[in-house]
């Protein structure tokens, strides 16, 4: 049987392009276990028979959540870990997934009781060395090196932990399957068995997942559908800051993020995340601006740097970006070249978002465009200036959500001047919020005239 590594589609013949998700070269051969074994596995882990319940008769309680002891993790999870929840945590190698989970495991072990850490990648001695560095020394934290899902299930049933962590799902194998660890069948079936166990025993289980070079969880897409929560741990390994994002959450919002700083003592919560990525205050060089983005419901001041240099040589000018979508940058450059008649097509352009963070929302358009204009004209912006706004194809500066929240956070950090969309300014005036020191922009032409023309 051949299965698609992207979506999990199965068929008996090899295929070049998956007929379900249309991805190329994703067919992987896997061994199909007999129906009798499949039925036996389902029966052995099936939940006890219960009568259907009327929806109003089902009792729930938010107090049943386990607090992780880390405010940023609780924020992303919606208040803590629910009993029986299946959580998938993904991230690049070396980003700090195991460090974060070891800290969470130690906090829960100290607060509630027994926690079981099942590792298929590290020995107990290696985990102990990390725990000593993190000062995670709870006697209720149990470490077990294991890769067989059958043994994992037996240990979870035996110890009845408050939390079980499987690091990682790609190294976990089921003895009934003949395929290699990390294959489509192994990842899918091992995850299904562990998730079924979590629901039966009300034991929350955290699965660690590897990511592909595209940044997605490795394995079949069905893995993300099976779990209750999908978290991504992001950041630049050469920077200190890490972001915990929720891509899926059946028990809370996916608009929250957690911000951490990697230190010698492990991951620490950032006390003032709003200004952590804005760089040093004061006068900035040409090509450097500060924009305000909303990461979930949290405003962040982020420094955007641009360099516009003459193009020398053959071929095409370079377009190098870090922390910004390349297609979004191409659109902004096209608008500036068309509406402002700037010869950007004959320039090398580099755009960088400092701190290892990425700008994913359109509100960062105005900051990116202004950084490019500042570098092109070699004119720095005045100190303590912020910008935010979306740029349309006709060059208009469009209003964005959360203008009051963005402006309030910027003013708390000393940024009292800036450029915002006219639509947002009118809304703030109606609410009685002063905007006398803020420039109201309707188009990129107005931004260029106001900031870069005498």
Does 62 score more than 60 pLDDT?
no
- What count of other Cβ atoms lies within 10 Å of the Cβ of residue 419? 24
Query: Which residues lie across from 206 on neighbouring strands?
Result: 87, 165
Q: What is the pLDDT of residue 280?
A: 64
Q: What is the pLDDT of residue 284?
A: 86
pTM for this model (two decimals): 0.81
Q: What is the pLDDT of residue 29?
A: 80
Does 146 score more than 70 pLDDT?
yes
Distance CA 362, CA 336 (A): 16
CA angle in degrees (0–180, nearest 5) for 171-85-210? 25
Q: Give the chain's domains with CATH numbers.
A: 1-30 (no CATH), 33-41+62-271 (3.40.50.300), 288-452 (3.30.230.10)
Distance CA 172, CA 78 (A): 28
Does 147 score more than 80 pLDDT?
yes
Q: What is the pLDDT of residue 276?
A: 74
CA angle in degrees (0–180, nearest 5) for 327-333-334? 90
Does 152 score more than 50 pLDDT?
yes
The SS3 assignment for 293 reads strand
Q: What is the pLDDT of residue 252?
A: 86
Question: Strands 229-235 and 241-249: what pairing?
Answer: antiparallel
Q: 354 or 41: whose pLDDT is higher? A: 354
Q: 251 or 282: whose pLDDT is higher? A: 251
- What count of other Cβ atoms lies within 10 Å of the Cβ of residue 5? 21
Does 140 score more than 80 pLDDT?
yes
Average pLDDT over the chain, rounded to an integer: 88
Question: Where does residue 317 fall: left (phi above 0), alpha (psi -120 to 50 degrees), or beta otherwise?
Answer: beta
- What count of other Cβ atoms lies within 10 Å of the Cβ of residue 36? 8
The per-residue DSSP string of 94-133 comes to TSSHHHHHHHHHHHHHHHT--EEEEESSS-HHHHHHHHHH
Give me the mean pLDDT over the 167-190 stretch: 87
Residue with tokens 């390994």: 237
Give me the mean pLDDT over the 256-260 stretch: 89
Q: What is the pLDDT of residue 33?
A: 61
Kindly report, residue by residue over 158-176, the tens digit of the pLDDT: 999 999 999 989 999 998 8
Given pLDDT bands bounded at 50, 70 and 90, which one contains residue 282? Answer: low
Given pLDDT bands bounded at 50, 70 and 90, which one contains residue 37? Answer: very low
Q: Give the rounded percent of residues in the chain with a pLDDT score beyond 90.
A: 59
Residues 6+ apart with CB under 8 A from 370: 289, 381, 387, 419, 447, 451
Give me the mean pLDDT over the 256-281 stretch: 82
Q: What is the pLDDT of residue 275?
A: 72
Does 243 score more than 60 pLDDT?
yes
Q: At what angle are helices 365-377 and 326-340 packed, to 10 degrees?
A: 60
Q: What is the pLDDT of residue 435?
A: 85
Query: Which residues lie across from 258 on neighbouring strands?
Result: 244
Residues 6+ apart with CB under 8 A from 212: 218
Q: What is the pLDDT of residue 379?
A: 95
Q: What is the pLDDT of residue 83?
A: 92
Q: What is the pLDDT of residue 443?
A: 96
Q: Give the rounded percent of residues in the chain with a pLDDT score beyond 70.
A: 93
Pull the structure tokens for residue 129.
Answer: 């060395």
Poorest-pLDDT segment among 71-80, 190-199, 217-226, 422-431: 217-226
Given pLDDT bands bounded at 50, 70 and 90, which one contains residue 45? Answer: very low
Kindly report, residue by residue over 112-123, the tens digit of the pLDDT: 999 999 999 999
Q: What is the pLDDT of residue 47?
A: 46
Q: 30 or 230: whose pLDDT is higher? A: 230
Which of 96-105, 264-273, 349-358 has the highest mean predicted lDDT (pLDDT)?
96-105
Q: What is the dihedral of CA 23, 95, 100, 117, to 10 degrees?
A: 60
Distance CA 77, CA 156 (A): 23
Kindly report, residue by residue over 381-425, the tens digit of the pLDDT: 988 899 999 999 999 999 999 999 999 999 988 898 999 999 999
Q: What is the pLDDT of residue 217?
A: 78
Give me the mean pLDDT over the 312-330 stretch: 91
């Amino acid at each position: 049987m051949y299965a698609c590594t992207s979506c999990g589609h199965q068929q008996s013949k090899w295929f070049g392009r998956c007929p379900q998700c249309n991805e190329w070269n994703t067919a992987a051969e896997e061994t199909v276990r007999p129906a009798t074994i499949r039925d036996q596995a389902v029966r052995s882990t099936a939940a006890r028979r219960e009568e259907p319940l009327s929806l109003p008769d089902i009792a729930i309680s938010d107090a049943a959540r386990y607090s992780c002891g880390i405010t940023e993790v609780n924020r992303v999870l919606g208040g803590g870990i629910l009993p029986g929840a299946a959580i998938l945590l993904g991230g690049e190698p070396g980003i700090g997934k195991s460090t974060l989970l070891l800290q969470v495991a130690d906090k829960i072990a100290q607060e509630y009781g027994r926690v079981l850490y099942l590792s298929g990648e590290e020995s107990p001695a290696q985990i102990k060395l990390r725990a000593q560095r993190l000062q995670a020394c709870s006697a209720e934290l149990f470490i077990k090196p294991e890769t067989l899902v059958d043994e994992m299930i037996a240990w979870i049933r035996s110890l009845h932990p408050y939390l079980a962590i499987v690091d990682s799902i790609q190294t976990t194998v089921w003895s009934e399957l003949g395929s290699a660890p990390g294959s489509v069948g192994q990842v899918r079936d091992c995850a299904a068995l562990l998730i079924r166990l979590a629901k039966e025993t009300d034991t929350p289980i955290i699965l660690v997942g590897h990511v592909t070079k595209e940044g997605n969880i490795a394995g079949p897409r069905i893995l993300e559908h099976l779990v209750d929560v999908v978290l991504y741990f992001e950041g630049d390994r050469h920077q200190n800051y890490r972001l915990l994002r929720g891509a899926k959450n059946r028990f809370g919002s996916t608009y929250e993020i957690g911000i951490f700083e990697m230190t010698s003592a492990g991951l620490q919560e950032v006390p003032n995340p709003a200004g952590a990525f804005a760089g040093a205050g004061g006068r900035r060089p040409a090509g450097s601006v500060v924009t305000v983005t909303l990461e979930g419901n949290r405003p962040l001041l982020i420094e955007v740097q641009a360099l516009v240099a003459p193009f020398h040589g053959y071929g095409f000018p370079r377009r190098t970006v870090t922390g910004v979508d390349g297609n979004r940058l191409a659109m902004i450059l096209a608008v500036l070249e068309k509406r402002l008649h700037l010869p950007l097509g004959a320039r090398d352009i580099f755009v960088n978002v400092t701190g290892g963070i990425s700008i994913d929302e359109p509100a960062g358009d105005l900051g990116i465009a202004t950084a490019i204009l500042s570098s092109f004209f070699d004119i720095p912006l005045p100190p303590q200036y912020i910008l935010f706004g979306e740029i349309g194809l006709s060059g208009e500066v469009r209003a964005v959500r959360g203008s009051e929240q963005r402006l309030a956070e910027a003013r708390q950090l000393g940024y009292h001047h800036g450029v915002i969309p006219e639509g947002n300014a009118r809304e703030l005036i109606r609410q009685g919020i002063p905007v006398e020191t803020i420039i109201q922009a309707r188009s990129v032409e107005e931004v260029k005239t106001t900031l870069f023309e005498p």
